[in-house]
A and B are shown apart, each in its own frame.
Chain A
Amino acid sequence: MRDKIVPLLMLVAIVVATILFYNKWQHKPDGLDRMAAVLERASGAMGNTSRISFQNYPIVNELHFQARYVMAPRYLPFHKYTYDTTLTITPLQFKDSIRNVLAVAHRTTLWQYTDTSFDYLLTSAH
């Protein structure tokens, strides 16, 4: 009879760990949650053929993967798209210069947002 206590103990450990994990993280957004929130706000203006570009090389990879994760399963490699809108994510220190570049390229701003770390700018070529 006592043998059955072993799986019960395991079950209790898993349940307790899950509850504690839930309590710890439920109201604590991390990088992925922040990216999801921003893309949710931008999604109204983003079509199925939007692409995301990133500025400032050292952090591109992480941001790229975060955005890709949030956009899955809609996300496809860039060469599969005919881009109509582009979301540009830039660290705050480069915000103005990127906006100038996009303005010179005559891209229309559809949506913009700034959080504590990044500037998000959704532009269209039309």
Chain B
Amino acid sequence: METGSRYIIYTLLYLGGISCLYFLCLFTGLPLFVSVILAAVLCWFLYRQVIPDNMPGAFDRKNTSWLALGLLTLGLGILTTNALNVAQKHGEWDAWAIWNYHARFLLSPEHWRNLFLNTENDHADYPLCLPAANAFFWRLTPATLHYIIPFVLAIFTTIATPVLIFTEIYKKHLLVATLALFLFAYNAFFIQIGVTQYSDSLLSLLLLAAMVCLDHAHEHKKYVAFAAALLGLCIWTKNEGAIVAGICTLFYANIFFSRRYWKMTLMGWALPALTWLLFRSCVLTPNDLIAGLGNDTWQKINTPVRYTMIREQFRYNLIDDFPYLKNAFYVYLIICLLRRKLPGKQMLMVCTCLIAYMLIYVVTKQDLQWHLFTSQNRLMLQMMAPMIYAMCMRFKDLRPKRVEMPMWTKPE
């Protein structure tokens, strides 16, 4: 795995780990200094595990070109500038009505359980990966700087997503990597949601990082543990993360549950699973996805107009928020057709996740039109980065074929 990718995965695992440990300390009533010590130990442990390059023949690896570094710098400059232009001080509505609001509860070791008493007009069942990470860093910073912390996490996810794809591809096909980087840099919706301080971008990055780790599972078995941990963190980040993690685990069951790797899988899952189970023991309301199921579910499934509404809104979002993605997807399909290959496993997995997401809307207990309007484009955004990564993994093999000169034309 490339150095840049390893640092991004290290940071992600570290943030997720801190979030879990901080919540466990709150749950068990341990003081802040214990969380700080655990965070320092985690930092050292993960550094020792993630950063070393275990790829066979790592020393023979192709060096990074100055051109690639220049393009990356340009891309980062555009991303940062665009992000700063749209970033609000306290994020958008859901940031201060849900995510940062929950973080404010977790800031208080005495009153944090009040969060779960807000069962009406709140989302007490939403997992706490992002709020707990924010709360941990808030407790270490003066109150006047609290608004900076969620922004730093948001800008990290916004930047790390395209950079992770870029670092994975650029040595194989610089043009494809650059196109992917600039597709993100100029996608207004991706940047806007990235800095709203919501959890959608984080979930997207966690899934992407898990896919990257699984692609490198053959290099070292530690990458299977990292992938399992990242999928576990998906569940700890958002309720729909359980769908993503479940589908990804099923698609890669041959790796996760193979004789060689199953212990790694369990090790990766351990901390996020324990944290999530304890969190669920505090929550008084059912998961909002499951709560939607009732007597009228079958009737909803048999109502064609619901499917039409979902499809129309999907089409509208695709045109409005992801203009280039649709074209890139068509190119991907054409390439698959020309090469007489089926779409890759990663693409099938992402499409399955998207279909599963859309099925949520079929059975939702909310008003369908309102629910689609408020969240469908964000769910699509969660799949944007994994889909672009899946496309790039196919596009990177595209090279003009060298025409072999016939023997008789070669000089003696």
Instruction: Specify whether A and B are partners.
Output: yes
Interface positions of A (Cβ within 8 A of B): 1-7, 9-10, 13-14, 16-18, 20-22, 24-25, 28, 30, 32-33, 65-66, 68-69, 72-77, 80
| Complexed CA–CA distance, A6 and B64 (Å) | 9
For window 84-116 of B, CB contacts with A under 8 Å fall at 84, 87-90, 93, 96-97, 100-101, 104-105, 107-108, 111-112, 114-115
The 9 closest A-B pairs by CB, nearest first: A6-B4, A7-B7, A3-B3, A72-B104, A73-B111, A73-B105, A2-B64, A25-B89, A13-B76
List of A residues within 8 angstroms of B69 by Cβ: 2, 5-6, 9
How far is it, in angstroms, between the C-alpha of A76 and the C-alpha of B163 when the chains are bound? Answer: 42
What are the residues of chain A within 8 A of B112 when measuring CB–CB? 73
Asked if B120 CB lies within 8 Å of chain A CBs, one says yes
Residues of A contacting B248 in the complex (Cβ-Cβ under 8 angstroms) = none
Which B-chain residue is minimally distant from A62 (CB atoms)? B93
User: What CA separation (Å) do A24 and B88 show in the bound complex?
Assistant: 10
Chain B residues, CB < 8 A from A30: 88-90
For the complex, give the distance between the alpha carbons of A69 and B148 in Å. Answer: 17
Complex interface: chain A residues within 8 A of B115 (CB)? 73
Chain A residues with CB under 8 Å of B96's CB are: 32, 65-66, 69
Q: Give min CB distance, A60 to chain B, whole Å.
A: 12
Tell me which of A1, A9, A10, A22 contacts B148 (CB under 8 A). A22
Q: Are A9 and B118 closer than 8 Å at their CB atoms?
A: no
CB distance from A5 to the nearest CB of B (A): 6
Judged by a CB distance under 8 angstroms, whether B363 is at the interface is no
A5–B76 alpha-carbon span in the complex (Å): 13
Check if B90 sits within 8 Å of A10, measured CB to CB. Answer: no
Q: In the complex, A62→B117 CA distance in Å?
A: 21
**Complexed CA–CA distance, A99 and B37 (Å):** 54
Interface of B is mostly: helix
A69 contacts B101, C-beta separation under 8 Å: yes
Is the beta-carbon distance between A65 and B97 smaller than 8 angstroms?
yes
Complex Cα–Cα for A6 and B163 (A): 9
Q: How many A-B residue pairs have CB under 8 A?
A: 111
CB distance A3 to B84 under 8 Å? no
Q: Interface readout for B1-26 with A: 1 if CB under 8 Å, 0 if not?
A: 01110011000000000000000000
Cβ contacts under 8 Å, B108 to chain A: 73
In addition to A13-B80, A68-B97, 15 A-B residue pairs with Cβ atoms within 8 Å of each other are: A3-B2, A3-B3, A6-B2, A6-B64, A10-B163, A17-B83, A21-B84, A21-B151, A30-B89, A32-B96, A72-B101, A73-B104, A73-B112, A73-B114, A74-B111
* Residue among B104, B114, B155 making CB contact with A17, cutoff 8 Å: B155
Number of interface residues of B (CB under 8 A): 49
Question: Chain B: residues with CB nearer than 8 A to chain A?
Answer: 2-4, 7-8, 63-64, 66, 69, 72-73, 76-77, 79-80, 83-84, 87-90, 93, 96-97, 100-101, 104-105, 107-108, 111-112, 114-115, 117-121, 147-148, 151-152, 155-156, 159-160, 163, 167
CA distance A5 to B338 in the complex (A): 38
Contact A14 B152 (CB under 8 A): yes
Contacts of A13 in B (CB 8 A): 76-77, 79-80, 155, 159
CA distance A80 to B116 in the complex (A): 13
- Given A25-B89, A69-B100, A72-B104, decide whether A16 and B72 contact each other with a Cβ distance below 8 A: no
Residue of B nearest to A31 (CB): B90
Distance between Cα atoms of A89 and B2 in the complex (Å): 55
Shortest CB-to-CB span from B75 to chain A, Å, is 10
> How far does the alpha carbon of A64 sit from the alpha carbon of B155 in the complex, in Å?
28
B148 in contact with A21 (CB, 8 Å) = yes
Contact of A9 with B76 at beta-carbon distance under 8 Å, contacts A14-B155, A14-B159, A25-B89 already known: yes
Least Cβ–Cβ distance between A17 and chain B, in angstroms: 5
Chain B hits for A9, CB < 8 A: 69, 72-73, 76
Contacts of B90 in A (CB 8 A): 30, 32
C-alpha gap A9/B156 in the complex (Å): 12
B66 contact set on A, CB distance < 8 A: 2
Q: 13 A-B contacts, Cβ less than 8 Å apart?
A: A6-B7, A6-B72, A6-B163, A7-B3, A13-B159, A16-B80, A21-B84, A24-B84, A32-B90, A66-B96, A72-B101, A73-B114, A77-B121
